[in-house]
C-alpha cells in the first residue's frame, strides 16, 4: 500500500473576511482624514478637531481604558467612531469689522422699529389730497368752425325732347306683309290605289271560282266511283296517284282564277289612280294662278307704301333736326348757370377756410394753457407723493440696510471635507459558503481515494485466486 498523501490545511475564510472589512474601514478613515486640511489665510484660519466615541456613543479620549478589554482604546479599531469639528477663526482686524457691522445693523433695526413706524403711521393716516386742479377738457371751438358751405343749385339736366323725336313712319303700317297663302288647298296626294286593287281582286276571284267549286266536287265524286268500279281501293298507290292528278288540275284551275283576278284588280286600280292624278293637277294649277295674282297685287301695294314712307322720313328728319338745335341751346344755358354757381361756391369755401384757421389758432392756445396748468398740477402731486412716501423709503432702507456699507463675514477659506465612505462589514455568509464548499471538496477527494484503494485490493485478490 502506498503512503497517504498530505492534505493541505483548511482556509480560515471567516478570518479573511474580518481582515478585509478592517482594511476597508482603515482606508476610509485615512481618506477622510486626508480631506481635513487646515487652512490659514490673511483674513483668518480654518482648522479641524477630531472627537472620538466608543460603540456606546460615549465620547472618549486617547488613552482611556476600554471596560471590556481592560486596555486603552485603539482609536483605529472598528469600535471607535471619529467625528470632526470645523472651526473658523477671523483675524483680530476682521473680527472687529464683523462686530462693528453687527452693531450697525442692530442700531438700524432699532431706529426703524422705534421711529420709522410712527412716521409711516402718520403718512397712512394722512392720504394725498384729491383736490389738485387738473384741466381735463379744453374749451373746443368746433361749434364756431365752418363745417359746411351752402351747395349751389346746379342744373344737372336740360329739357330732353328725345321722346318727341320720330323714329318710324306710319306708312309702314299700310304695307302688306303677307300674301294670301293657299298652300293648304293644294292636292299633294291621290286616293290609295291599293285599296281598290284589293277590293277588285277579291270580287273577280269570287266571280271566277263560284262555278269551279260545284264542278270540281262533281268531278271528284265521279272519279271516286270510277276507281271503285275498277277495283282500285282507297289507300292504294293507284288511288293516291289518281287523286294527286285530280288535285293538281283543281289547284291549277284555282291559281288561274286568282291570277286573272289580280290582273283585273291592277288594271282597275291603275285606271282610278290616273283619273285622281289628273283631277289633282287641274286643282293645283288653278290655285297657282290665284297665288300669282295675289302676289302681284301685294307688290303693287307695298311699292305705294314705300313711297309714302320716304315722304314721312323726310318730314321726321327735319323735325328731329329742329329738336336737336333746341337741346343744344338749353345745354349751353345750363352750363353758363352752373359756372356762375361754382364761382359763388369757391368764394364761400375761402371764407370758411379762413374762419376755421382762426378757430384752430384759438384752440391751440387753449391747449398750451391747459398743458402748462396740468404740468404744475403734476409737479404738485409729485411733491405730495414724495412727502408721503419718504418715511416708507427711509424705514425700508433702515430694515434692509441697502444704503449702508455693512461688513460681511470674510471668506477665510473654502473647504469641502469628504464624507467617510460606507464600509461593508465582514462577509460571514460568503465565508461560510466558501468553507462549506471547501469541506465538501475535501470529503469528495477522500471518498474517491478510498474507492481507488478498494479497487486495488479487489484486483490483487483476483490475481491471487487466478494463480491457485
Domain ranges within the chain, ordered by starting residue: 13-90, 164-384
Residues 6+ apart with CB under 8 A from 431: 13, 14, 16, 17
pLDDT along the chain (468 residues), means of 10: 56 80 79 83 90 87 85 81 87 91 83 80 75 69 71 75 66 60 68 70 82 86 89 89 91 89 83 78 81 81 80 81 82 82 82 82 81 79 72 68 52 62 68 80 80 73 64
Q: Which helix (H) or strand (E) holds 66?
A: strand 65-66
d(CA 394, CA 414): 37
Q: What is the pLDDT of residues 91-107, one digit of tens each?
A: 999 989 889 988 888 88
pLDDT of residue 2: 46
φ and ψ of 46, to 5 deg: -125, 125
Query: How much is the pTM?
Result: 0.32
Q: Which helix (H) or strand (E) holds 305?
A: helix 237-400
Q: Residue 194 has which C-alpha cell?
A: 291599293
d(CA 394, CA 116): 7
Q: What is the pLDDT of residues 36-47, one digit of tens each?
A: 888 899 999 999
Radius of gyration of the chain (CA): 77
Q: Residue 463 has which C-alpha cell?
A: 490475481
Amino acid at each position: 500500500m502506498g503512503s497517504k498523501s498530505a492534505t493541505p490545511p483548511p482556509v480560515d475564510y471567516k478570518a479573511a473576511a474580518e481582515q478585509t472589512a478592517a482594511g476597508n474601514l482603515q482606508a476610509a478613515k485615512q481618506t477622510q482624514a486626508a480631506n481635513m486640511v487646515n487652512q490659514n489665510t490673511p483674513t483668518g484660519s480654518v482648522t479641524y478637531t477630531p472627537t472620538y466615541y466608543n460603540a456606546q456613543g460615549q465620547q472618549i479620549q486617547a488613552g482611556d481604558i476600554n471596560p471590556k478589554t481592560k486596555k486603552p482604546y485603539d482609536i483605529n479599531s472598528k469600535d471607535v467612531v471619529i467625528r470632526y469639528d470645523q472651526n473658523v477663526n477671523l483675524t483680530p482686524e476682521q473680527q472687529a469689522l464683523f462686530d462693528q457691522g453687527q452693531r450697525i445693523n442692530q442700531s438700524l433695526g432699532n431706529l426703524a422699529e422705534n421711529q420709522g413706524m410712527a412716521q409711516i403711521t402718520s403718512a397712512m393716516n394722512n392720504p394725498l389730497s384729491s383736490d389738485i386742479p387738473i384741466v381735463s377738457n379744453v374749451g373746443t371751438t368746433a361749434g364756431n368752425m365752418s363745417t359746411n358751405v351752402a351747395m349751389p343749385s346746379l342744373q344737372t339736366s336740360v329739357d330732353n325732347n328725345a321722346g318727341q323725336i320720330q323714329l318710324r313712319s306710319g306708312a309702314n303700317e299700310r304695307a302688306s306683309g303677307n300674301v294670301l297663302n293657299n298652300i293648304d288647298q293644294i292636292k299633294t296626294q291621290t286616293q290609295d290605289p291599293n285599296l281598290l286593287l284589293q277590293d277588285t281582286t277579291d270580287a273577280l276571284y269570287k266571280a271566277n271560282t263560284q262555278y269551279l267549286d260545284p264542278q270540281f266536287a262533281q268531278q271528284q265524286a265521279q272519279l271516286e266511283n270510277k276507281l271503285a268500279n275498277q277495283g282500285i281501293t282507297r289507300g292504294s298507290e293507284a288511288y293516291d296517284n289518281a287523286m294527286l292528278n285530280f288535285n293538281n288540275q283543281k289547284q291549277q284551275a284555282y291559281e288561274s282564277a286568282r291570277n286573272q283576278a289580280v290582273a283585273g284588280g291592277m288594271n282597275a286600280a291603275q285606271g282610278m289612280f290616273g283619273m285622281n292624278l289628273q283631277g289633282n293637277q287641274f286643282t293645283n294649277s288653278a290655285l297657282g294662278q290665284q297665288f300669282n295674282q295675289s302676289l302681284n297685287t301685294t307688290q303693287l301695294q307695298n311699292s305705294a307704301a314705300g313711297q309714302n314712307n320716304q315722304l314721312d322720313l323726310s318730314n321726321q328728319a327735319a323735325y328731329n333736326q329742329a329738336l336737336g338745335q333746341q337741346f343744344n341751346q338749353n345745354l349751353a344755358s345750363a352750363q353758363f348757370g352752373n359756372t356762375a354757381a361754382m364761382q359763388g361756391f369757391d368764394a364761400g369755401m375761402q371764407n370758411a377756410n379762413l374762419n376755421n384757421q382762426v378757430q384752430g389758432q384759438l384752440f391751440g392756445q387753449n391747449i398750451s394753457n391747459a398743458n402748462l396748468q396740468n404740468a404744475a398740477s403734476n409737479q404738485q402731486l409729485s411733491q405730495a407723493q414724495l412727502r408721503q412716501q419718504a418715511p416708507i423709503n427711509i424705514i425700508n432702507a433702515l430694515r434692509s440696510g441697502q444704503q449702508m456699507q455693512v461688513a460681511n463675514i470674510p471668506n477665510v477659506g473654502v473647504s469641502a471635507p469628504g464624507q467617510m465612505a460606507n464600509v461593508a462589514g465582514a462577509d460571514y455568509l460568503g465565508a461560510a459558503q466558501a468553507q462549506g464548499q471547501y469541506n465538501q471538496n475535501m470529503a469528495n477527494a477522500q471518498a474517491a481515494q478510498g474507492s481507488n484503494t478498494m479497487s486495488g485490493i479487489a484486483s490483487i485478490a483476483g490475481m491471487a485466486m487466478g494463480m491457485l
